[in-house]
Chains A and B, each alone.
Chain A
Amino acid sequence: MHVSPLVFLAPAVTALAVALPVAAQISPSKESLSKLYSGAVYSPHAQRRFPSRPLWGDTHLHTGLSVDAGLFGARLGLEEAYRFARGEEVVSSTGQPVKLSRPLDWLVIADHSDAMGLVNDLAAASPEVTKYEQGARWSKGLRAGGQAAVETALDLITTFSQGKVNKDLLAAYSPGSKIYATVWEKVVKAAESYNDPGTFTALIGFEWTSLVKGNNLHRNVIFRDGAEKAGQVVPYTTQAPIGSTDPLDLYKWLENYEKKTGGTVLALAHNGNLSNGLMFPVDAQYTGRKLDKRYVRERARWEPMYEATQIKGDGEAHPLLSPDDAFADYENWDVGNLDLSEAKKPEMLKYEYAREALKSGLLLEARLGTNPYKFGMVGSTDSHTGLATAEEDNFFGKHSGSEPSRDRMKHPFTKTKHGEFKGWQTVASGLAAVWANENTRQSIFDAMARKEVYATTGPRMMVRFFGGWNYTKDDLNSRQPAFRGYEKGVPMGGDLPARGKANAPTFMVYALRDPIGANLDRIQIVKGWLDAKGKTHEKVYDVAWSDDRKPRADGKLPPVGDTVDVKNANWTNTIGASELGVVWTDSDFDPKVRAFYYARVIEIPTPRWIVYDAFRFGVEIPKGAKTTGQERAYTSPIWYTPG
């Protein structure tokens, strides 16, 4: 590669200019730094081994390449999806200009694998074809590009459609044995061209869309690798005989991929809420196969994360499973399965929601030796528009038929004799925050694999969550609390270190609200545990809150208030706090029982997307539609296992 020598010189000159004055000064030794400050050297940025801010992205975006997206009229392809995610303005499938408030840092385009065989059958022609005048002419025209290529294409189409192709040329044609440009190759190629390490990461992925009698068992697959490895395969499908709907077969495929290519890959499920009891089995899989050591081991190995919130419902918790949790009733979709071919029965719920699965995981770990549901939590959109929109005031809907329009909130999303998901119920959610050191495929993937990730329902609040045995208030007040966080314990997604002589675990949790978003109402810690009798339990603790509120006699914290002005689609940050943080000790801790802890950060009430629709289009909100909500973040848990 030719590089001008000036390019090399410029940084060297700058480095010299900067280095001189610094070298002339005395740098402080570790001993001379204040005890309150926990950095190893004066500069808080030097020698830092952890990220200073989370990287925001979406693990689950569909483009027009997905069959269902195309059917709904999605015209945006891979390029437009990447451009939009990078912060450029694009025109949506329905002709509306749209732009994100802020770019995303990374994106996984996860189109359905079952469609990617689309052009698999393109066959090679015999080399004989160019003997003929027509063949040679077309070849020349196509290579010329531009207007000549356009004219050539038209000529080709006309000639073929009128049956005027040279008979001998046609006879020379034979279905070849090579498989050409598959959709997957396009997917991989686009990811390569938009992947820009340090600025924007395009992770290669696809969705394995397992649907069993209308019950959602979908998984997204994410590669750590680039084209050289991910391009060697075509994605796994659900269609027999090559594909299958059984996750165990997907795991086999993932393992095979790693073995054959030397690559690295992971999977994450979503929409357990639409699986009618199949997503998180405890006794047997939907196939009737009993859960065994193999199942729990494989699931734990391949599925380090779960997509806990997205457009088709929030799946963290359900009020029937968590009757004492005042915030569990949030954007739940609980009428039936994915296509509403079967209505929901209450007994299905406990196999569908993330919190319950985390609890079941403890039970299965005690029973079979591995916790299959030891997952981190992310949010993503699952949008089928090529547009990763999760903000209430900039929501472009589930599919192109539900892009902004006067009537979109009134159209049923799905309606059968078993029930209805109403248009207004679609959720402008969610995003995935990743605590990765660098904005690269490897770094982001590795953070996902170690579960140092969290979910939000759309806003970009920064959340830190650490677990250890001896965090103190000073650690939090040290102004660089993350140093202490990593030094004295583990971040979200980890296991508490060995207990030693400590009586109870301590958790340092803090959150900073989205710079352009709403203030925070409270931080909660959700604890789940397995008692000696093999029964699971949960408890939600309010640990930090705004506005100096005092818990009531029953221990409950009064609501933060509500500033939402529905008519004008407005709200104010006059309540709540811009940041909250605390070191919390679990005084109910029992060293003999397995447990997990995760943080839930709740914003003050803000308008739902339908309120912006009503305001901008000047339409009525349907009766019974929910107009406000308290958006939130769910961190990955930290687990405790008795030593």
Chain B
Amino acid sequence: MRSLPQLAGRLLREPLVQFLLLGAGLFFLYQVVSPAPETAPNRIVVDRAQVARLAQQFERTWLRPPTRAELSGLIDDRVTEEILYREALALGLEKNDLVIRRRLRQKMDFLNEDLGAQRRPTEAELQAYLDAHAEKFAAPARTSFNQVYLKHDRNPAVGRKRADEVRVQLSTGSIQPSEAGDATLLPRGLENASAREISRSFGEVFIAALEQVPVGSGWSGPIETEYGLHLVNVSARDPGGPLPLAEVRAAVEREWSAAQRAESKAKFYAELRKRYSVSIEIPDEKKAAVLKQ
């Protein structure tokens, strides 16, 4: 069992508790102010704590305390805001306001997120998460290859024939890869490149075909893309695979936390929803459309 001061410290760091205590504070203030308007209905008190908070807000922006003039400007602004806020409430302007509704909804989301984010996972939990989602954290397969590029010919058969000839020349060593083919701005090869990296330069069609070429099988192809024809020579391929927790800890922790948050969020709304009975009345003419979907 933890000591009370430890517990207190923990509690204070809970944004939810802070949030709710503020709410309670306002509620309390309301209780004090509203049933007895005759005491001081239009009195505004900017107390020391509020002044200190204004000063700190300034300091977070400018990394220095406000000057006397700046602070009095901040206080003035706060008073103006308080007056307008109260007058707006008196007019009922907060009702049916889409911005306010969405803001409050968002605040509930924050509240919920902060709940899910508070606990750090244990080692065992991370390992279990990694085991269950090994493919998500695996090292991608990597390929090293060279390519010789040939422009499309107006006659595809001529283009293919030329590609076959160049491939034979490359295979017999009668021409160097650096001298073969047509000039291009595409890379002449990539080293240890993942499928994602290869497709960035060459596109999806290319990588799909390249994956079928065995390592060390010499010059093969051509692979046809929208750029032209590519003769390829795959020199190495690392199949990739699962990685130990030590190497992917940060990512696993991030994903674990996200999953926790999503779960807690769903539960939270499900629980809240239980408190309501929801009935939906669809106008007759819309009914058909809804049912059709």
Contacts and interface: CB of A to CB of B under 8 A. Distances in A.
A193 B254 contact: yes
B224 to A, nearest CB: 13
B18 A125 contact: yes
Contacts of A170: 24, 28
A178 B17 CA distance: 14
Contacts of B50: 175
A256 B59 CA distance: 12
A160 B24 contact: yes
A242 B74 contact: yes
A2 interface: yes
B200 A142 contact: no
Interface stretch (A129-137, A343-351, A386-394, A414-422): A129-137
A257 interface: yes
B196 interface: yes
Interface stretch (A67-75, A374-382, A538-546, A591-599): A67-75
Contacts of B271: 150-151, 154
Contact of A149 (B8, B251, B264, B272): B264
B44 interface: no
Interface string A564-592: 00000000010000110100000000000
Contacts of A44: 188
Nearest to B77: A241
Given A37-B178, A79-B258, A123 B15 contact: no
Contact of B8 (A120, A127, A186, A515): A127
A121 interface: yes
Nearest to A115: B103
B24 A122 contact: no
B246 A122 contact: no
B99 A67 contact: yes
A53 B16 contact: no
A471 to B, nearest CB: 16
B15 A180 contact: yes
A156 interface: yes
A160 B63 contact: no
Interface string A234-263: 111100111100000000010011001100
Contacts of A176: 49
Contacts of B53: 121, 123, 175, 177, 179
A1 B246 contact: yes
A568 to B, nearest CB: 19
A242 B71 CA distance: 10
22 contacts: A52-B187, A71-B99, A73-B102, A77-B109, A102-B196, A103-B196, A119-B19, A123-B25, A124-B18, A127-B5, A140-B7, A142-B118, A143-B10, A145-B116, A149-B118, A150-B268, A177-B52, A241-B74, A481-B185, A512-B185, A516-B203, A516-B204
Closest 10 A/B residue pairs (Cβ): A515-B203, A241-B73, A139-B11, A260-B63, A145-B119, A130-B8, A127-B8, A512-B185, A125-B21, A177-B52
